[in-house]
Amino acid sequence: MGARCSKLSLCWWPSHLKSNLNYSSDLENGELLPGGFREYSFEQLRAATSGFNSDNIVSEHGEKAPNVVYRGKLQEDDRWIAVKRFNKSAWPDSRQFLEEARAVGQLRNERLANLIGCCCEGEERLLVAEFMPNETLSKHLFHWENQPMKWAMRLRVALYLAQALEYCSSKGRALYHDFNAYRILFDQDSNPRLSCFGLMKNSRDGKSYSTNLAFTPAECLRTGRVTPESVVYSFGTLLLDLLSGKHIPPSHALDLIRGKNFLMLMDSCLEGHFSNDDGTELVRLASRCLQYEARERPNAKSLVTALTPLQKDTQVPSYILMGIPHGTESPKQTMSLTPLGEACSRLDLTAIHEMLEKVGYNDDEGIANELSFQMWTDQIQETLNCKKRGDAAFRAKDFNTAIDCYTQFIDGGTMVSPTVFARRCLCYLVSDLPQQALGDAMQAQAVSPEWPTAFYLQAASLFSLGMDTDAQETLKDGSSLEAKNHGN
């Protein structure tokens, strides 16, 4: 079960090293800026990552997405780092990139996986962060192998993240992109830290936008704009994740808690290990974060105040609560996934959309071939026009219109296209209709039994439905089929 998340551990750190936030030795090899932040040369980072070797990739969002992270080791001091290399089309304004990186780089806090440097040479844009050895919250909460996360540790995660947000807010960095369980990493002591990468503003026209549709609060879906209040909303969703042990889509969070007893939400693995008062209080706090009116939500400081008295076993080290041997690194990922498989495993709907659009209809049996054996009638022409309108809407991310047009094409009954089912599947996922999405992914497999994309989309749908074990098995099926196809 660890395969899905191990590639998302953005920042690891060797157990025998501790963070040296002054980095005085960096003066010899790069420009040291206030706060221990430095600018690296591209050649330094190329060498640290063995030429950006694919074996060192720890996070990947597809070919077009500006989000590939490598682990590396700086040759001059044997320090492990995480290097995020952006696509060349990202951050065209070098000045804006440097200003953002330097601003985030001034932050230093034990609740953050801190940004320690950057590189801006020519078209290259790279960030350098601390490296964390113990993977993501998603791995330990949703896909645990040895033991479920204990109640005391879940409360600690909530508090530490609230403290991270409070610190960032106090430094004028209240906006955080795609706040979710994949952005939360565990350091050498198994303490949770918030990844610094989500603090980069990623702005257009002075407004800050979300980059991953799967983790965007419902209020932001139309514009994607991130506000401090929407970050608190996402924090409320994360509280529900901690309570239930499942990923809760932000758009479903409010409906999930409305009028329900908290015991219906609780992870069954926690039975008998928490008090009803604590569970009630955490649900109450989550509901405050999920208020429809943004101004009625608490701020980060209020979150810290509410969570502090709930803490348990405060003297017990996190690595003991987590059941992680102190000073050991987590095993490497054993299942190799293509970029599409990776995107589906993370429910990265933005990356899935980009890849489905790029592939087009190359994987189809061929609509044109089927039509050559049919009489060209007005009905057939209208069916084809529905598909064209659907494709245009899909390209424009008008997913509701795409669903309507693709449905007319499918209901026409004269042609069958697995790619249309695949595209409508994604539209359903974006629209928070995972059951319908799963149906379309299965239809795509029925039409093209040897098409890995159909399996990957089934996995994404199953993850959306909370059926993680089935989703992992389907990912393996898709990966095995892809390997078999390439072997042929």
Active site residue ranges? 178
Eight-state DSSP code of residue 88:
T
Nearest by Cα to 5 from 262, 232, 334, 243: 334
Number of continuous H segments (helices) and E segments (strands) in the chain: 19, 12
Pairing of strands 79-85, 203-204: unpaired
Contact assessment for residue 444 and residue 422, using Cβ atoms and an 8 Å cutoff: yes
Query: Which structure tokens are listed for 26?
Result: 């960096």
- Radius of gyration of the chain measured on its C-alpha atoms: 23
Residue with tokens 């996922």: 429
Cα torsion for 141, 146, 150, 155, to the nearest 10°?
A: -30
CA angle 138-139-141, nearest 5°? 65
State the Cα–Cα distance between residues 151 and 427, nearest whole angstrom: 36
Q: Which two tokens stand for residue 55?
A: 């074996």
Query: Which burial class, exposed, middle or buried, applies to 245 when counting CB atoms under 10 A from its CB (0-12, 13-18, 19+)?
Result: buried
Please name the amino acid found at residue 309.
Answer: P
Alpha-carbon distance of 454 to 333, in angstroms, equals 23
Q: HSE on the CB side for 275, CA within 13 Å?
A: 8
For residues 286 and 243, the answer to whether their CB atoms sit within 8 Å is yes
